[in-house]
Amino acid sequence: MYGRAYREESAYSEQIPYQAIAPLQHTIRAGQAYALADATVATEYYYAKVYDDSLPLNRTVVSGRYRYYPVWLGTGWPTSERTTCV
């Protein structure tokens, strides 16, 4: 489980530093359930390090081939979609 969408290394250009994967301390075990927050939300990485355009490729969307789905954990079930891990 990750706190944001991580793009694979090949999705980054040479001027945008690769973001290493950093999993959260949470896990979803077999039999536990979670609520899908929104299956339609875009899961790209937005590279923006400065307020002006002084860095190359500042304000760039990095898209990759992996799809990430935001989920709700430990907050009840705010949506009607509920999934159980197997």
Contact 60/47 with Cβ under 8 angstroms? yes
Contact 9/21 with Cβ under 8 angstroms? no
46 three-class SS: strand
Ranges of each domain in the chain: 1-86
Q: What is the pLDDT of residue 86?
A: 45
10-residue stretch averages of pLDDT, the chain, 86 residues long: 83 90 80 81 86 90 87 61 51
